[in-house]
Amino acid sequence: MAGALTSPPVEVVEYTDPLCPWAWGSEPVFRTVRAALAGRVRWRRAYAILFDHDDDPPPDPAAETAWYARYIEEVSSHSRAPRPVRLSRMPADSWPSSLVAKAAARQGEEVAERALRRLRESVFVLGEPADTTESALAAVRGVPDLDPRRLAVDAASEAVLEQVRADRLEARRPVPEVLSAQGPWNGSPHPGTAKETAEGGHRYALPTLLVRTAADYRVVPGRQPFEAYVAAVEELSPGLQAVPARLAPAHALERYRSLTDPERLLLAEGDWPPPGAVRVDTAGGPLWLHPDEAATHPAVP
C-alpha cells in the first residue's frame, strides 16, 4: 500500500543481561552505536539469563561474593566503567531484572532504556543486585513516564515470561562463528567466544551483537570498538554511514540522564560537568546524573 510504513531491513540483536559486568562496560560504545544508527536499524535486546534460578547456590556465599567483586574490578580495569565500593552479594538470579526490563519495553523505548540502565546500576553503582522481583521493581522506581503498577503486572505476566524464555533459548543457539576464539575480534580482552552451558551446549558470551537481514548476518561478540559494530552493519547495508554524534554536555546529560566518564567522553563535547550535574562517586570513577534523575535515583540520598 502506498505510504505504508516499513521496518528497517537490518535487525541488530543485542544478547545481554542487566547484571553482566561486560555488558555494563560496553554501554559507552553501544550507546554511541545506537545513536549513530537511530531510525535506520531495528535494535532488539535478547536477555540471555547469566544467573539462572536453577543454578546451585554457592557453598560459601561470602567467598563467592568476594570472587565476583574481584571479577568486576578486573572487568572495570579494561572498560573503565564504575564499580561498587562494596558488593553486598553475588547476584543470585537474572530472571527478575530481565522480566522487568522486558516488561518496561511495553511502555516505550525511552522508558525501556532508562529502566534497564537503573537495573544495571543496581549492581555496578549501588552494589545491591536487582535479583529479586521486589528489588528489580524498586530499582526502576521514579523512571520518567513509567507506570509502576502496569510494570509490575506485565513483569508477572505469562506473555513477558514467554518472551524472556524465548530470549534465553535464542541465546543458547549461537551462530558457528563464535564457537571458537578465531576471528578478527580475538585481540580483545573479552573476545566473546561462546560459553559452554551445564546442559552441554553453548550460549553467546555477553554482550554479543548479531546483525542480520532476511538473507545474511554478521556477528560481533564480546566487547569491541565502535568501528567493528558499524562495519558489520555497513556490510549488510552498503551506503549506510554511521557517524557518531557528540552533543553539548547539558544536552547529553538531558538525553541520557546518567553518564559514566567513558560515556560522556564519547557522547558529549565541551566543558564538563554541565551546570546542575550530580556526581555519584564509585570505586571505578564517577557517575554523572541529570538533576531530575538524581531526584529519584537510589544512589542519591
For every one of its 301 residues, what pLDDT tens digit does the chain have, with 9 covering 90 and above?
Answer: 444 445 578 999 999 999 999 999 999 999 999 999 998 999 999 999 999 977 677 788 999 999 999 999 999 999 999 999 999 999 999 999 999 999 999 999 999 999 999 999 999 999 999 999 999 999 999 999 999 999 999 999 999 999 999 999 999 999 999 998 666 655 678 889 999 998 899 999 999 999 999 999 999 999 999 999 999 999 999 888 888 889 999 999 999 999 999 999 999 999 999 999 999 999 999 999 999 999 999 999 8
The C-alpha cell 560481533 sits at 220
Q: With CA atoms as reference, report the closest residue to 204 among 36, 14, 24, 77.
A: 14
pLDDT of residue 98: 98
Angle of the 226-236 helix axis to the 27-37 helix axis, nearest 10: 30
Check residue 36 and give left, alpha or beta (phi > 0: left; psi -120 to 50: alpha): alpha
Q: With CA atoms as reference, report the closest residue to 119 among 105, 135, 142, 103.
A: 135
Check residue 120 and give left, alpha or beta (phi > 0: left; psi -120 to 50: alpha): alpha
pTM more than 0.85: yes
Count CA atoms within 13 Å of residue 70 on its CB side. Answer: 5
The C-alpha cell 574481584 sits at 70
pLDDT of residue 4: 45
pLDDT of residue 8: 74
Give the strand order in the sheet containing 285-289: 258-260, 285-289, 278-282
pLDDT of residue 59: 83
Residues 98, 101: Cα–Cα separation, whole Å: 5
Residues 53, 161: Cα–Cα separation, whole Å: 14
Give the strand order in the sheet containing 217-221: 42-47, 11-16, 208-212, 217-221
Give DSSP secondary structure letters for 212-247: E-SS-EEEEESS--HHHHHHHHHHHSTT-------B
Sequence letter at residue 103: A
Angle of the 158-171 helix axis to the 148-155 helix axis, nearest 10: 60
- Reading the block at residue 131, the C-alpha cell is 535479583
Residues 100, 89: Cα–Cα separation, whole Å: 20
For residue 108, give Cα distances in angstroms to 45, 95, 145, 209: 14, 21, 9, 22
Q: Are strands 42-47 and 11-16 parallel, antiparallel or unpaired?
A: parallel
Contact at 8 Å (CB) between 44 and 12? yes
Angle of the 95-104 helix axis to the 158-171 helix axis, nearest 10: 110
